[in-house]
Each structure stands twice: as structure tokens, then as C-alpha cells.
A and B are shown apart, each in its own frame.
Chain A
């Protein structure tokens, strides 16, 4: 079983839609959680950290459920520029472990 699991997608949505991605992780001792965004043929870039209380950054909301070992990312009012791969990232034994990513395609 992979340490961090994500649905690879792709998720095809129209502009303006709301889309949610989920991720599960196996190490119950993990302390830090993130969502990264990766554009085609580019490096991953930090989108946002994820906290137990939930956090929001503009159209993006991240949630953590420690009991279920589950992380989510909600994108509201999708833009064409949101098309990318979204990586779920979890700290495990003082290093970051990356999910394989969920691909999002936003169409006009």
C-alpha cells in the first residue's frame, strides 16, 4: 500500500465549477500536510499547507481529518488556469512523501 494515495483523475470540469480532491495517508504519526500544484513539464510548487482546523486561500480550501487520515482540497469557481496536477504531500519520519497526483482539466 502506498503511503499517500490519490485518485489520478483526470477530473474534467467546466469553468466556474467546484471540484474536490481527496487523499489518504498511512502514517498516523504524520504532522505536516500540504497540497502542491504541478504544471506540465514543470517543478511542483507549494499551493497551501493543510491544518486540522481547515484553511482557506481565496478559492482554495484544504481540510485535514486526522481520525480518518484523509486530506481534501476544494477549488471553487474553477478557472482555465487551474488546469494542472495537484499533489497531496504528507510528512513521514521527517521527510515529505508525495502522492502521484490528481490531474484537473478545466474547459471553457
Chain B
């Protein structure tokens, strides 16, 4: 068990409100990732982090920000939620410090923006 947990598991929020999703890992892995999954698009990378305070944008970063002030926590913030951000959000960690051995995913957060 890679010790990765996401919270909340489900959330319904209103358009225009800020929302923060949390990803917590217990094993000191350096690389962490946020993906969203939507029908017809598969998993798309939002942001990723390669260490404390080191983050970078992925493919679909508009409308999202991230923070990593501690190794164990990677936060994803929707600055002003829109209906197009209704999705399932997955956090992932790299066990090897890169992509070469794959990623392990958290259980996901199902977000609905109404």
C-alpha cells in the first residue's frame, strides 16, 4: 500500500466558489501529480510537483492552482469553480522518482459544480 489518500471523496459546490482538494502521502515520495478524468478524454494532467515548493503545469492547468508546502501534502485549488470542472480528480505519486515504474493513484475525488 503506497499510503496515498485524497479528501474529500465527494463534493458538490456552487459555481464561482473556491474549492481545495487534498492529496496526502505517508511515504516521503518526491513526485506527485493531479489528474482529472472525463468521459472521452481519459486522464489529463493538471499540475505536478517534484518537491516542496516545486510545481509545474500540465496539459489542462487553466483555472487550477497547486501548492506543496510539505512533502506529504499536495493541494489542488479551483480558484473559482465552473461547471466544466465537474470531474473526477485523481492524485498520483511516482514510486521511483519519475515515470519509469508507473504511478500509484489515490481513490479519487468526485467533484460536482452546480
Contact = CB atoms under 8 A, between A and B. Distances in A.
Interface residues of B, number: 22
A102 to B, nearest CB: 11
Given A42-B107, A43-B105, A101 B99 contact: no
Interface stretch (B12-20, B38-46, B64-72, B78-86): B38-46
B58 A95 contact: yes
Contact of A46 (B102, B106, B107): B102
A46 B48 contact: no
Interface stretch (A52-60, A68-76, A86-94): A86-94
Nearest to B100: A32
A43 B107 CA distance: 5
Contact of B42 (A42, A45, A49, A99): A99
Interface residues of A, number: 22
Contacts of A49: 101-102
Interface in A1-59: 4, 31-32, 34, 36, 42-46, 49
A107 interface: no
A80 interface: no
A89 B98 CA distance: 14
B74 interface: no
A87 B108 CA distance: 17
B10 to A, nearest CB: 11
Contact of B100 (A31, A36, A101): A31
B55 interface: no
Contacts of A95: 33, 45, 48, 58, 99
Interface of A: 4, 31-32, 34, 36, 42-46, 49, 87, 89, 91, 94-101
Interface of B: 33, 35, 40-45, 48, 58, 90, 98-108
